Structure 1
Amino acid sequence: MTKHALHPQGHTANPLRTLKATLAALALTLLSGCASVYLVDNQVQSFARWADTPATAPAAVPKAPQTYRFERLPSQGAGPGAAGQEALENLARVALAKVGWSLHDAPTVAPWTVQVSAGTLRLPRAPWEDPWDGYWGGFGFPGRDYAVTASGHIVWSPVFMRMDMPYYKREVALVVRHAASARVVYESRAAHEGRWNSTPELWGAMLDAALRDFPTPPDGARQVNIEVPR
């Protein structure tokens, strides 16, 4: 893209660059805030089918404590995704411990298996934001294709001063199976959208949300909010 500028005589500072830096710093300040916690709001939906568990299972609706082993898909057990899967399972282990389930020392005899997965979709902006919201073509005139600086510069650009603020859609899923029969007895998903960066604390909060009311969750979708220390 070609940019044309009309330059007055002499060298002056670039106030637009300063303004852009100031706006970026302000955005980071607003995101970080000064509170000691931030809220991870999750849309959760869970399905329990303990009644279909074979009679050889420990109980129709198992009471804690219970033991399990992790089960992986082929794509989760090898290649570049293996390290990320191990980190995710470590977070799931902590979340499951909060509901009284622990990783079995001898995986081959664990009565339950747990499969955990996660995914992220990165968007350049929030779905409700106009693509031109981040364009500032001057002082107080969004959407223009030029800017007039305080020193008289006229700068042409249809993508002038783009202020990208990525938006993320994330989801975690847990599937519990009766190990002997491979029957799915519990499934839960938690979805979260927002601008928070990916951290272990954020994913841990989503897993906690997915396990809310385990092992007998209510029917239908529900919102589960988790506060995470900064």
Structure 2
Amino acid sequence: MASIRWKLSLTVLGCAALLGGCASVREVQSDVQSFSTLAALPSPPTYRLELLPSQQANAPQFASIEALAQQSLAKVGLQRDDSQGSLTVQIGAQARYTRDFASYYGPYGAYGPRWNWGLGFGRGAGWGMGFGGFMFDTPPLLHYRAVSVVMREQRTQRIVYETSAVHEDVWTNDPAIFGVLFDAALSGFPNPPQGTRQVRTPLAVSGPAQPAAVQPAAPARP
């Protein structure tokens, strides 16, 4: 991963361009892991979306994530049909940020203060904070965004597709990032490269980036 200082420089330049009234295009790099036993699109190519208890409890906040996932599923040929879907689909999303002192200061950063805050749907939520050492400046926030999709064959409940996508950067632009991540996670469906790969997606930016508005969710069932 590129150094935090390098990413910060790019972010400053990008913000300057945006403040100057010029739209820009950023490349979003996603780390994707996919595993599939599907040979082709299911017949019919339909799915039932199964919401976890934490997602149902936060339905108004989760609606935007659900809509983005549904759009990405439609792009790969799957249509939602909660009454007669041939697949059962579960989705998840995470948003958190941290200050990566180790990358910013080098090996001595391991003794510096650490901040970590996170919210998620379907994977639980948590936060933590600790202090140690003495620092003269503060590294930028590193934003972490992740999504996951699990598909089961409706008739047998056998898992036939599992995929996830992760993006980390000092810059973020939600909810657009979550849409990009769902697209990246489903790239190659139904026969993606097995295992880990990187997917790069251009994203048009027309305004200042903002942190995600994902709300807290209760821990999901195992």
Coarse TM-score class (shorter-chain normalised): 0.5 to 0.7
- Return the match for 2:79 from 102, 113, 119: 102
What is the aligned partner in structure 2 of residue 69 from structure 1?
A: 48
Q: Which has the higher strand share?
A: 2
2:117 equivalent in structure 1: none
Counterpart selection for 1:187 from 141, 145, 162: 162
Question: Structure 1 126/40 Cα, relative in aligned 2: closer, same or farther at 3 Å?
Answer: farther
Normalised TM-score (structure 2): 0.66
Q: Say which SS state the counterpart of residue 100 (structure 1) adopts.
A: coil
Bigger-Rg structure (1/2): 1
How far apart are residue 120 of structure 1 and its match? Answer: 2.3
CA contact (8 A) 1:191 1:206 kept: yes
TM-score scaled by structure 1? Answer: 0.64
8 Å CA contact retained: 1:64, 1:99 = no
Kept in 2: contact 1:170–1:193 (CA 8 A) = yes
**84, 89, 92: which one pairs with 1:117?**
92
Contact 1:65 1:100 in 2 (8 A): no
Match of 2:69 among 83, 88, 92: 92
Give the match for residue 43 of structure 1: 31
The equivalent residue for 1:224 is 199
The residue type equivalent to 1:67 in the other structure is T
Task: Please report the RMSD computed on the Cα atoms of aligned residues, expressed in angstroms.
Answer: 2.6
Give ranges in structure 2 of 5+ residues lacking alignment: 1-8, 18-22, 110-133, 206-222
Q: Which amino acid aligns with 1:174?
A: V
How far apart, CA to CA, are the structure 2 residues paired with 1:86 and 1:99? 21
- Cα distance, 1:29 vs structure 2: 3.7
Identical-pair percentage: 36
Q: Is contact 1:68-1:102 (8 Å) kept?
A: yes
Distance 2:166 2:73 in 1: 18
Native 8 Å contact 1:126 1:167 kept in 2: no
| Alpha-carbon distance between aligned partners in 2 of 1:127 and 1:82, rounded to the nearest angstrom | 37
Report the AA paired with residue 120 of structure 1: A
For the residues of structure 1 that align with 2:63 and 2:102, how far apart are their CA atoms?
32
